Structure 1
Amino acid sequence: MAFQGTKINPRRFHRSQIKFYAILIPLALFMSLPIIFIFMNAFKPPNELFAFPPRIFVRNPTWDNFKALFNTVTQSGIPVSRYLFNSLLISLLTVLATILVGTAAGYVLSKKQFRLKKLLFEINTLALMFVPIAVMIPRYIIIARTGLVDSFLVHILPNLAMPVGLFLVKQFIDQIPDSLIEAARLDGANDWFIYGKIILPLTKPAIATIAILSFQTAWSSVEASNFYINQESLKNFAYYMSTLTSSTSAIAGQGVAAAAGLIMFLPSLVIFIFTQSKVMNTMAHSGIK
């Protein structure tokens, strides 16, 4: 038993920590079951997919579901790889553009002084209250009048307006001392230099958070493909997933859907694993308790 007042190194195991592991390890295993189920389902043959009672772990893993997925061609003659390529390109461009817009706007709202500054930020905060379906009709009118219907950009431009990302970045930039900005100006730095050499390096945790949020939005969104795109070659992989069960037989469709579900899930999981520490840091510095 450790003496009172004795410090315990958190990086080394101590027997007093056993009670925490006894609670956290079973809880972590229980919470990881859905992730394990997604991975296992993708490699199950049809007889295991329809087994009753359902089994979590696969007994005879197979790659047939993935082969069937990438050998499938839609009625329009579009291969699955085209949908996947569209989703990857849309997600990459959306993440880069959202980071640029969010950090630049956050810097202006945090460190610049101009009229209506508080009003603009309050409007952005108010926008957090609206769910996408509540603004679907105004959004469609705007997109139609700007000529973005049947355009690849309709997947990207509407997603650049991300109120939660701007809110997090602005709150994070508020923590940067104004004296640091003033010192850079005294040395002759302009706004672009300050933005690129000071703001961006010091807001990496917030940038990681924006990247995750924007990637998930772009990667899983089917709104543009359903409502604004008529050309099949411009639609994304999430839209193709929604058509799997209707375009293939019930049995084969389940296996293909399981493989596609894993492909949809895996990028978000990998990105979150590598950036989750920065996300937690952003929440701690953004006024969210």
Structure 2
Amino acid sequence: MFRALGMLQVDADDGETIRIPARKQRTLLCALVLHANEWTPVARLVETVWPRHQPPSARGNLKTYVHHLRRVLPRRRGGGERLSSRPGDYQLRLDRGELDAWVFEDLLAEGRRALAAGQNALAATLLEDALRLWRGRPFCELATATADAYVARLEEQRWSAREDVLAARLALGQHRECVEGLRQLLTEQPLREHLWCQLLWALYLGGRRADALAAYRTVRELLISELGIEPGEELQRTHQEILLSTPRAEWQGAAHSPIYRATAAIFTPTGAHPAN
């Protein structure tokens, strides 16, 4: 298993971690993982490993690093080269289940489909399994525009997964248990309005209507002071329904919400390149 959701780690089939202590070799491997199943030009790899100044020996050193990686990386199931080369290019071959970032995306897709189908307990399990794969910032050894773009997309998907777990838990009636988790997320992203909507409903459905209304006042003041705007349509609608004690049925069975049906459309990750 190649683990890129945090500091790069490679595990052998027996579960033992393969040591790759040399920093530049780790950077090279991380770049090859990012572009797995693609032919990656040597010139791009040289720029990634030596971003500021490429020494005259860079290409020769790169060949040495590749030779070492070929010796230590786990073999492919079913045979075939793990790290291939052709004039001017290298390619790392990974199957879909061998990279934790791809496994995360697949579990996220399954969890969203389960959520849309009203299978809330299954959705929560799948989404929590996906989130447990994270150990830190993805591809943290790389500082390239391509890596930054992919990492930003993964981070947004992680946030969506955290919200969807709470949606599943709310739908299961675990309102009080969700409040603590929502407050924790809001310390990280205090301007994320959908989290506030979930918090309002968790408080209200947990029998804390006054606290829900107080939370709305808090977020309204925050948005006005920080951004100079009023709460958005979803948040205002949530406030009105709690104020009038007329909650939408979808918040007592949240997985049937159009919001979640929209996000649970069959998810085909972009930027991933599973083996043929």
Instruction: Verify same fold: TM over 0.5.
Output: no
Larger radius of gyration: 1
The structure that is helix-richer by fraction is 1
Bigger relative contact order, structure 1 or 2 (CA pairs below 8 A, ≥6 apart)? 1
The TM-score normalised by the length of structure 2 is 0.29
The TM-score normalised by the length of structure 1 is 0.28
